[in-house]
Structure 1
Amino acid sequence: MKSVYVTGPDTIEWVDIDMPEVGPNDVLLKIKACGICGSDAMYAHVGGIPPRQGATPLGHEPAAEVVEVGAEAQGVAVGDHVVIDTMAFTDGLLGSGGAQGAMSEYVVVKDIVPGRQLRVIPSEIPWTVAALNEPMAVAHHAVNRSGAGEGDKAVVFGAGPIGLGAAISLKAKGVAHVVVVDIQPSRLEVALAVGADAVINSAEEDVAARLTELHGAATDGMRRPGKVGTDVFIDAAGVPSVVETVLAIAKHRAVLTIPAVHKKPVEVNFGAILGSEIDIRMAMGYPTEIFEVTDAIMAHADKYAKIISHTLPFAQALEALTLAKTPGAADKVVVTFD
């Protein structure tokens, strides 16, 4: 069968591999859709993921149909539509350094544990939307880490897939007012479409002044003015200016949560922010959220569908990967399978 592999630095190719063998405790999945993540380009640039340097199967945002169930396997049946915990495979992280990747026609779940690797979803959920389950779990974890809740006021920096997913999760938790900040008007339009209460184009507007209008004025712990009334900030952009902006305007005991990958060091003047007592929290992966977010996707499939900017067939997977890594060319690319 066909599979997409990183075969060397900045080299992604089609590879012919054997069909997976299905043991008595295993489940065979036919991949129906697979999203492309920014980390796929990173894996390609460095030539793979140790210990699979130079031969890394890609694809860790899948949705699939169960096509074969081992004699002793439990929890799913042939024909089920499923979303997948790619971190729970016994042969390594699916598409992130493990033995298999979901940018393939078939994947086998070895030694399945009911409720651990797979969750069955309704058949009416579009495959492309179901393939958002993994990245939306990342966004949902960031929201959980932030502690945001009913009545809070929140700001999300970055209207890419993670930022948009965070905006949806914030509203689902009852956050009273959610603002999304970005520099691309088209992304900000999508942010409003998925439920953001307001947007700010930081290339054209003063973020601090606009947030003061939206969330009110506030002080730090020493009652010094010049802060905004925002309770929670989420950095889904990964640029130093976001952290600098938040630390300059955060009120007393506000929370900054960072799920974004910062590729360069960020300088922080801890003396200057001491009086704010701001909480800075990192958010990585989805320790418990992989199937928590599935409920939201099932309930609001129409909103999540707006996050997808491009879909391409599996035959054009290499083109899809190139599109996804080209700055400004696409927001969320999903590959579909027959």
Structure 2
Amino acid sequence: MKVSTVTGPGTTELLDVDRPQPGPADVLVRMRACGICGSDAFYITIGGISPRQGCTPLGHEPAGEVVQVGAAVTGVSVGDHVVINPMAAPSGIIGNGGAAGALADFLLIENAVRGVSLEVIPDHIPWEVAALNEPMAVARHGANQCSPKPGDKVVVFGAGPVGLGAALAFKSLGASHVAVVDILPGRLDKALQIGADAVINSAEEDVVQRLIDLHGEGEAMFPGKPGTDIYLDAAGVPAVVTTALSAAKRRATLGIVAVHKEQVPVDLVNIMSNEITIVGSMGYPDEIFEVTEDLVANWEKYALIVSHTVPFDEVERALQLASTPGAADKVVVTFP
């Protein structure tokens, strides 16, 4: 079979490797779709990640069809459609420095346990939507970290895949109003299509005033603060943190799910005096299959997040497309 592999700085190749053979506790999955993440572009740039520098298999957003089931595995059958937890692989995180990557014809699920390493999904869910399970778990964890309460008013900065997924998560968790901020009209249109209550173009509008218009005024040491309960940074731009903290009312929460590539100064007196909570979010300790139920129930909304599908035999083009700023929102590689 073939697997997309980082073989050096800025270089990937489709390598021929032996098809894995499952043991009694394993499941073999024929890949049907795998999303491309921003971290894939980073791994390519640096030539792979330890301990597989120079030979790092790619792909950690997998969905596929079970083709072999070990004798000791229960709850999984040949032909099942599954989503996979890349973090659970005993030989290392799938597509993140582990022995296997999901941008491959087949993927071996070692010590396969339903609800831990993989989960079965209905056959009617499109493969490219199923491949969103992993990044949507990242978005769900970001929302969960903010501890939303029913009725909370929320603003999400950044209408990329994780930001849109977080907007869906907040709605699922009972938020009464979710606004999404971005500078690209196409992304804002998509946010409305998936169910955001309002959108704000920060290149053209005063974000704080629009939030006051949408969420009313909130209690704070100084007047003029929106009644927004939760601010989520899914953009990774310093101005987002500055705007959110300057706008935050008393006891508001700022969640950080985006990767920041430079330090961001903060006003600690403001944080202290308004008792603002800042919480980080990384990965999905518990959400990898928590999000699956919502993904299945609302798959048509999640489908809007996918901007491009590219066949596996053109995976190099898919990786290039995903790494080109502004060229695509979410690229998913599909398999025959």
Calculate the TM-score normalised by the size of structure 1.
0.98
- Alpha-carbon distance, 1:113 to partner: 2.6
Aligned twin of 1:209? 209
2:264 corresponds to which residue? Answer: 266
Tell me, in whole angstroms, the C-alpha distance in 1 between the residues paired with 2:86 and 2:75: 17
Q: Deviation at 1:226? A: 2.1
2: CA distance, partners of 1:318 / 1:333: 12
Distance 1:114 1:277 in 2: 42
Q: Which one-letter code corresponds to 1:98 in the other structure?
A: G
Match of 1:331 in 2: 329
What does the per-residue CA deviation read over 1:271-295, in whole Å, with 9 as the maximum and x for residues that have no partner?
2332111000001111110001000
1:317 aligns with 2:315: yes
What is aligned with 1:3? 3
Distance 2:218 2:25 in 1: 58
* Partners of 1:159 and 1:188 within 8 A in 2: yes
User: Distance in 1 between the 2:270 and 2:77 partners?
Assistant: 58
What pairs up with 1:1-338 in 2 under 5 angstroms?
1-220=1-220, 222=221, 224-338=222-336
199-208 vs 142-151, which moves further: 142-151
Residues in 2 aligned to 1:120 and 1:273: alpha-carbon distance in whole angstroms: 44
Letter in structure 2 aligned against 1:65: E
SS in structure 2 opposite 1:228?
coil
Residues 145-180 of structure 1 deviation map (CA, whole Å, 9 limit, x = unaligned): 111121110000000000000001111112111000
SS, match of residue 162 in structure 1: helix
CA contact (8 A) 2:6 2:44 kept: yes
Identity of aligned residues (%): 60
Q: Using the alignment, how far apart are the partners of 2:110 and 2:172 within structure 1?
A: 34
Q: Do the aligned residues in 2 keep the contact of 1:75 with 1:115 (CA within 8 Å)?
A: no
Deviation at 1:115, TM superposition (A): 2.3
Contact 2:115/2:289, CA 8 A, preserved across alignment: no
Contact 2:114 2:120 in 1 (8 A): no
Cα separation, 1, equivalents of 2:166 and 2:115: 25
Q: Which moved more, 1:249-258 or 1:46-55?
A: 46-55
Unaligned runs of 5+ in 2: none
| Structure 2 Cα separation of the partners of residues 161 and 208 of structure 1 | 24
CA distance in structure 2 between the aligned counterparts of 1:209 and 1:63, rounded to whole angstroms = 42
| 8 A Cα contact 1:149 1:170, kept in partner | no
CA distance in structure 2 between the partners assigned to 1:100 and 1:42 by the alignment:
18
**For the residues of structure 1 that align with 2:132 and 2:150, how far apart are their CA atoms?**
25
> Which structure 1 residue ranges, 4+ long, deviate > 6 Å from structure 2?
none
Distance between the aligned counterparts of 1:124 and 1:113, measured in 2?
23
Inter-partner Cα distance in structure 2 for 1:34 and 1:70: 23
Is the contact between residue 200 and residue 207 of structure 1 (CA under 8 Å) also seen in structure 2?
yes
- Secondary structure (helix, strand or coil) at the match of 1:217 reads coil
Shift in Å, 1:238: 0.5
Matches of 2:152 and 2:219 in 1, distance apart? Answer: 17
What secondary structure is seen at the aligned counterpart in 2 of 1:87?
Answer: helix
Query: Take 1:112 and 1:33, find their aligned partners in 2: how far apart are those partners?
Result: 19
**Structural RMSD (CA):** 0.9
Q: TM-score, normalised by structure 2?
A: 0.98
Q: CA deviation at 1:109?
A: 1.0
